[in-house]
Structure 1
Amino acid sequence: MKNIPDFVLVRPQMGENIGAAARAMLNFGLDRMSVVAPRDGWPNERAVAMASGAGRVLDGARLSATTAEAVADCAMVFATTARDRDLTKPVYSPEAAMIEARDRIARGERVAILFGPERTGLENDDVARANAIVSVPTNPDFPSLNLAQCVLLMGYEWRRAIAAPAAQTMEMAGTDFANHAELEALAAHYEERLDTAGFFFPEGKAPAMKRHLRNLWSRMPLTRADVQTFHGMMRQMVRWKERG
């Protein structure tokens, strides 16, 4: 068994949405799709056209006549829905649901996520077969998500659950961050030239002004290329002044 959840599209109405869902799934390393009673039959040419390179997800999709059949071998089933239901069930955020799915799959359980048809979403009979509900914090005045959008969102949360990306990275573009010696040399260069220009005035405030300037350099995340640029700027300004 693959260590990924089943994404179950229940009675999808448009082939284009099935294809877009397949593409969204493959974006996040998911290819276990089940299709329950698609309105326009199966296979669907419009789904293939819309999948745009994710055709293998459609090729491997399981076709089921009912939701019960699609989830028969699953130990945990989540139902995605934006509507209030007259059913007592635990409600998960997308993030928490995918963490739970990850942990259960790691224990050898099979997990499914149900997605409803475009016009109405999942029916209560479908939701009743789920162990829990997944609720997306959408605008309460416009809560409905397109089928492929909902698949994309859950696929993204799955990917985060198994390989959380760094919140922020830095592209260094062929350089490294400046070390303290390089920052010290830059600070000394500016301090010397600014002192010559009479910047540190009055004399009694000069120590505090120099300390403030050094603190500015140390606070800035400068690369070695940045440091060389600042040195060059100051040298050019001095040359321009001397020519004048």
Structure 2
Amino acid sequence: MLACGERKAQAQTSVPTTQTNEQGCTRQRSIGPQDPFQNPPPLKQACVGPYLLEMPQHLFYSQMGTEFDGRFALVLQYPGLQPFAPGERMNLKLDVSMRTVRFAYDYIDRIELRQAMRNAYTPLDFEVDNPSESLAGRIVGEPVYGLLPYYADLPRIREYHASRGTRASAPVMEADWHQDWFITRDAAGEVDRLIRCTSREVGGTGVVFRDGLMYRHMQEPYSECTHQFMLPEHSTLVRITYVRLGLKDWQQIEDKARALFFDHLVSPHQ
């Protein structure tokens, strides 16, 4: 028993307390049992490429810091965009999951950042004729919330798949399989923001409000958006997911994404 205890102690002390990524950012790791309910929450570190961030652990998706390999996402709750209480996301309930705004930060260094952005709305060679995979195959609408919409052309999409032998009852023929795209362009005409939301043909919001909190409306289909933009000076692509109802607040949500990054930025690797 004594020998077993000694080996266990040696194993615990041999666990490295730091982790360094490919870009040279070194973060302090969380060793041993974690308490997501701890209040005030302790500070935890994370790396985005060479950039070190430090923030309270309840802002992390797991509310305990990064995953073992350093990956992480941050969360706030819609519509107030305030943090979840420490431990509130444990045993994740449907309503809590549905009101989650999730922020992910991807450092891009293997290709040019703008090319990574282009890849999000450019079809692969074998999908070039698929109207759901490109801007050109969509219905351009009038600006909404300061965004230019490219709506899914569902009749054209169904015709495309039917011509390839897809049965009429296949999921890809349903509206909830497809997304409407909303973009902005920079001064050079390049897409610098892309928000993809469940098709407008899917009715209802999928949510209901009670006492200022948002809950899942079980009699309506759930719709959501994936919002992508760049932090050019930090070669970082930001991806945010939230309920489709939040599209009208996209600017506020994006501002929060920037604040979560810059307000907790400790330093780049030197």
TM range (shorter): under 0.3
Task: Flag the structure with more relative contact order, 1 or 2, with Cα contacts below 8 A and sequence separation at least 6.
Answer: 1
Instruction: Choose between structure 1 and 2: higher helix proportion.
Output: 1
Instruction: Choose between structure 1 and 2: higher strand proportion.
Output: 2
Looking at CA atoms only, which structure, 1 or 2, has the larger radius of gyration?
1
